């Protein structure tokens, strides 16, 4: 894992950006992160939905917007990555 994170740091550095990695909370794994809300997701597009019980924290698909509102500090000067 350390080598993978260093590869990201190096790639971002090539663009002239210093990336400082701080380990955050470990969250349940989801296979897909969607740029739609949980209510907008469909089994045919993201492969999961609230209707089928496969969307949400730790399920097949999770909403980026839910992750952002639950875990990112909007008043922070930082930008966040999700790995």
Q: What is the pLDDT of residue 48?
A: 92
Averaged pLDDT in 10-residue chunks for the chain of 83 residues = 84 92 83 92 92 90 90 80 76
As a three-state string, the secondary structure of 38-80 is: HHHCCCCCCCCCCCCCCECCCCCEEEHHHHHHHHCCCCCCCCC
Q: What is the pLDDT of residue 83?
A: 74
Q: What is the pLDDT of residue 2?
A: 67
User: Could you tell me the pTM of the whole model?
Assistant: 0.69
């Amino acid at each position: 894992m350390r080598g993978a994170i260093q590869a990201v740091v190096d790639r971002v550095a090539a663009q002239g950006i210093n990336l400082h990695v701080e380990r955050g909370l470990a969250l349940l794994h989801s296979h897909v992160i969607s740029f739609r809300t949980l209510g907008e997701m469909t089994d045919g597009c993201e492969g999961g939905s609230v209707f089928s019980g496969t969307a949400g924290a730790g399920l097949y698909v999770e909403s980026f917007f839910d992750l952002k509102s639950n875990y990112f500090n909007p008043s922070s000067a930082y930008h966040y990555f999700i790995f």
